[in-house]
């Protein structure tokens, strides 16, 4: 069993035992249910209209790609708005706001996950928007190379900006039931290029700090996250 330390918005330090089913992020809690999620990603506007023509709606890209440039190299993620529309919309909102630029992968567990998106190199926490509804019941699995939302163990709908990348097939993080410790972690995409970069990040030396366990000794900075054409 591993232990993960986090600090809540009131500044209280908490230490939890970490089984494969515990990933933590900032506070916030919404109600939960297992009904099909409702898409919230923005639909592109109508194309140019000529006189007498019928406006044609541009096709919605349900699988957009983003490039993540880090101090250790680049990798590309294909998002899945078909199965996780709320989570993709949430992630892209942070991307478009430049939220992830200058953040770090603040915890690394080789053979399990790398976790990032919430803190800068000085371990100052980035401000967040309200939590997004957990779509872990969407059928996507926490398989190697998938990207998922981090959340509090005891609150189903508490994910904000932090995400993790699975380094192995982590079935214990998948949805198995309606209780908080069963609901799992929502997968909303997968790495389609550069997984070797993530593996390299996972192999770096780590140490424990007053805030977190398994912090990379050499900070791995997310320099930019950009949508690809």
In three-state form (DSSP H/G/I as H, E/B as E, the rest C), the secondary structure along 16-79 is EEECCCCCCCCCCCECCCCCCCCCCCCCCCECCCCCCCCCCECCCCCCCEEEEEECCEEEEEEE
From residue 198, how far is each of 77, 116, 227 by CA, in Å? Answer: 12, 12, 19
First to last CA, the chain: 42
Query: Domains plus CATH for the chain?
Result: 2-30+60-227 (2.40.100.10)
pLDDT at residue number 197: 98
pLDDT at residue number 95: 98
18 by Cβ neighbours in 10 Å (0-12 / 13-18 / 19+) ranks as: buried
pLDDT tens column, 88-108 = 999 999 999 999 999 999 999
pLDDT of 168 above 60: yes
Q: Are 138 and 79 in contact (CB under 8 A)?
A: no
Distance CA 91, CA 99 (A): 10
Give the pLDDT band of residue 60 (cuts 50, 70, 90): confident
pLDDT at residue number 54: 56
pLDDT averaged over every residue in the chain: 82
Say which residue the tokens 């603040």 belong to: 106
Q: Per mean pLDDT, which range of 51-55, 70-74, 78-82, 124-128 is the poorest? A: 51-55
DSSP assignment of the chain equals -EEEEEE-TT--EEEEEE-TT--------B----SPPPP-SPPP-B----TTPPP-BPPP-SS-EEEEEETTEEEEEEE-TTT-HHHHHHHHHHHHTTTTTTEEEEEEETTTEEEEEEEETT-PBPP-PSPBPP-GGGS----TTEEEE---TT-TB-B-S-EEEESS--GGGS---SSHHHH---EEEEEEE-HHHHHHHHTS-EE--SS-SSEESS--EEEEEEE--
- The CA angle 127-133-138, to the nearest 5 degrees, is 130
Point out which residues pair with 38 in neighbouring strands.
none
pLDDT of 69 above 80: yes
pLDDT tens column, 28-46 = 333 344 443 333 333 333 2
pLDDT of 78 above 80: yes
pLDDT at residue number 31: 37
Give the pLDDT band of residue 58 (cuts 50, 70, 90): low
Widest pairwise Cα distance in the chain = 67
Q: Give 212 or 44, the one with higher predicted confidence.
A: 212
């Amino acid at each position: 069993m591993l232990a993960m330390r986090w600090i809540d918005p009131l500044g209280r330090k908490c230490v939890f035992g970490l089984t494969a089913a515990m990933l933590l992020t900032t506070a916030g809690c919404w109600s939960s249910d297992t009904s099909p999620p409702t898409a919230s990603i923005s639909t592109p506007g109508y194309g140019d209209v000529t006189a007498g023509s019928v406006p044609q709606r541009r096709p919605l890209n349900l699988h957009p790609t983003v490039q993540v440039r880090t101090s250790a190299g680049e990798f590309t993620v294909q998002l899945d708005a078909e199965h996780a529309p709320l989570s993709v919309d949430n992630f892209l909102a942070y991307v478009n706001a430049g939220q992830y630029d200058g953040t770090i992968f603040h915890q690394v567990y080789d053979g399990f996950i790398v976790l990032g998106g919430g803190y800068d190199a000085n371990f100052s926490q980035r401000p967040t928007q309200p939590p997004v509804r957990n779509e872990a019941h969407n059928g996507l699995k926490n398989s190697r190379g998938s990207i998922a939302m981090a959340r509090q163990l005891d609150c189903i709908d508490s994910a904000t900006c932090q995400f993790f990348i699975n380094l192995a097939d982590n079935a214990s993080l998948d949805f198995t039931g309606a209780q908080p410790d069963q609901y799992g972690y929502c997968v909303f995409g997968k790495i389609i290029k550069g997984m070797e970069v993530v593996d390299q990040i996972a192999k770096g030396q780590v140490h424990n700090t007053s805030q977190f366990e398994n912090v990379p000794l050499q900070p791995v900075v997310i320099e930019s996250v950009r949508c690809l054409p």
